Amino acid sequence: MDTGVPECLFCKIVSKQLNAKIIYEDHLLMAIEDINPVAPVHVLIIPREHIGSLNAVNEDQLHILGHIQVAASRIADQLGIAANGYRLVNNCGEWGGQTIYHLHYHLIGGVKLGWPPL
């Protein structure tokens, strides 16, 4: 079994070497509860394949990004936040607030969110 990048936390989670509360999974991704939620619903959507950040996505991986967005809407519906609305966020790089360098999207909802982020 491919266990990804050995030192990567999210590779360990998607290969189940580390535990997480799994909300949904399929052949391309895993969706888990964030360990430090910032809202009533805070799910991390993580591709199984190790991709360092949005900056590292290549043309062969476009289907993964599309799959993540459609899965996010399905998960939002499943969790009962689709009708009121929610946010799907990718933090890219240091200034974007990325702390784990395995691509992931935050699905955040269950409360009315503020904007802008500054």
Q: Which lies closer to Zn ion via its Cβ, residue 18 or residue 111?
A: 18
Among 11, 31, 32, 72, binds ligand 5GP (CB under 6 A): 32
Question: Per-residue DSSP letters for the chain?
Answer: -----TT-HHHHHHTTSS---EEEE-SSEEEEE-SS-SSSEEEEEEESS----GGG--GGGHHHHHHHHHHHHHHHHHTT-TTT-EEEE---HHHHT--SSS--EEEEESSPPPSS--
Q: Examine the residue annotation and report whether 50 is marked as an active-site residue of this protein.
A: no
Q: Is 102 in the site for Zn ion (CB under 5 A)?
A: yes
Find which of ligand 5GP, Zn ion, none residue 57 binds, CB within 5 to 8 Å per kind: none
Q: Which residues bind ligand 5GP (CB under 6 A)?
A: 9, 20, 32-36, 44, 91, 97-100
Q: Which residues bind Zn ion (CB under 5 A)?
A: 4-5, 8, 10-11, 50, 102
